[in-house]
Structure 1
Amino acid sequence: MTTRIAVITAGITEPSSTRLLADRLAEATVRALGGPSAASVDVIDVRDIAHDVTNHVLTGFASPELQERLDLVAEADALIVSSPIYTASYSGLFKMLIDVLPKDSLRDKPVLLGATGGTARHSLAIDHALRPLFAYLGALVSPVAVFAASEDWGSTEAGRLGERIERAGGAFARLLTGAPAPKQVDPFENVTPFEALLADVTGAA
């Protein structure tokens, strides 16, 4: 059975680091699930439907283009979101789309959180803004999220960001499948007993 994943990305620039983060989170999740045969991805770029979202907020009616995207979210098995952080919170455009989603469409739906910002000072916005929002909506929020600051895309930090993305994708895949977390290697599991060390020292003396 193929897992249907909807991706909401709220970047407003072109190209967008917010979109890039969303794409890489989706790719990591699909890999962890077993590849394209195990999961399909539909991307909803809020920038493309900004006017439709605004009109829906004002009139209560969705255009056909917006309704198509709202249906993708409602019918998806899982959701990946990525929002830029402005003034320590998610963007207003992102929140507007969330506000017009069908009632209870996110209830019990697994959600992976991602966010981008100019500096690492905004990193806590995932925990004090995004996570409470989706918890309120009844979603099953993945415990591992990714915040990417501008410097994280640099050559010296890109590797670490990639590791965090892979970790988040793996954790989200386990949430979707119910698979157990990989066993952690105990660095003290095969430590030489103190008595043996002492015997070696005594024998050498």
Structure 2
Amino acid sequence: MTTRALAVVSGGLSNPSSTRLLADRLTAATVEALRTRGDDATVEVVELRAHARDLADNLVTGFANQALRTAVDTVTGADGLIAVTPIFSASYSGLFKTFFDVLDKEALVGKPVLLGATAGTARHSLALEHAVRPLFSYLRAVPAPTAVFAAPEDWAGAGGVDRALADRIDRAAGELADLISGRPPSTRPVDPFADPTTSFEDLLRGT
């Protein structure tokens, strides 16, 4: 059984949040779908609200601190990504966009991604297709065909989730598992400055 690394990016601003709730549902369904395909999975969650100041600092300095660097490495080194954002003014949140703005432009090339979004009204449901999907297409990721949107009424069914939403979650999770299965496992990117072969003192001496 191959072990796959699954990264989850949640852009929810509150705690608890419906965005994180949807992310957790999508994650559980994807882990199960991978298992039925003969793959195990490890899961690491990146809560963007914890990195709001780190991201602002990165934008103005061009450098990520250790906490943000760890989050970036989690996403770029994963075999698959689940990315869920709240929808504000008919588009992804600024915090969500900022995280993907600070990634290297090649970081998500070819990476399977499951897209999800939440909002206070179903009128925002098309934001996944006109805003979120184009973002990941621009980054040359590979979004799963089914994106999952949840409005407040979608959490009103048996077990806390509407049947139609549960079906969309299962379908999208299966599509992501199909995209991940059969691919060679990803490896974490190596930071060339993490373990320099030349000491700082030698560099100062010009040796």
Q: Report the TM range for the smaller structure's normalisation.
A: 0.7 to 0.9
Q: Which residue of 2 aligns with 1:147?
A: 149
How big is each residue's C-alpha offset from its partner over 1:97-122, in whole Å with a ceiling of 9 and x where there is no partner?
00011231100001100000111110
TM-score (norm 1): 0.83
Which residue is equivalent to 2:162?
158
Q: Which residue of 2 aligns with 1:17?
A: 18
SS at 2:110 equivalent = coil
Q: In 1, are the aligned partners of 2:46 and 2:71 still within 8 Å (CA)? A: yes
For each residue in 1:145-179, what CA deviation from the matched residue of structure 2 results, as whole angstroms up to 9, or x when unmatched?
Answer: 10001111113762221121111111211122259
Give yes or no for the alignment of 1:112 onto 2:111.
no
Identity of aligned residues (%): 53
- Tell me which of 155, 170, 174 is aligned to 2:174: 170
CA contact (8 A) 1:74 1:102 kept: no
Equivalences, count: 179
What is the TM-score with the length of structure 2 in the denominator? 0.82
Counterpart pick for 2:75 among 60, 73, 93 = 73
Letter aligned with residue 52 of structure 1: D
- For 1:173 and 1:105, how far apart are their aligned partners in 2? 20
Q: Is the 8 A contact 1:113 1:141 kept in 2?
A: yes
User: 2:6 matched to which residue of 1?
Assistant: 5
Alignment of 1:1-150 (within 5 A): 1-34=2-35, 38-150=40-152
8 Å Cα contact 2:80/2:176 also seen in 1? no
Distance 2:121 2:182 in 1: 34
Could you tell me whether the CA contact under 8 Å between 1:89 and 1:129 is conserved in 2?
yes
Classify the secondary structure of the residue corresponding to 1:4.
Answer: strand
Q: Is the 8 A contact 2:4 2:39 kept in 1?
A: no
- For the aligned residues, what is the CA RMSD? 1.7
Question: Per the alignment, in what secondary structure is the counterpart of residue 106 of structure 1?
Answer: coil
User: 1:182: which partner in 2?
Assistant: none
In structure 2, the gaps of 5 or more residues are 184-207
Q: Aligned equivalents of 2:89 and 2:105: distance in 1?
A: 28
Q: For structure 1, which runs of at least 5 residues remain unmatched after alignment? A: 180-205
CA distance in 2 between counterparts of 1:95 and 1:30 reads 26
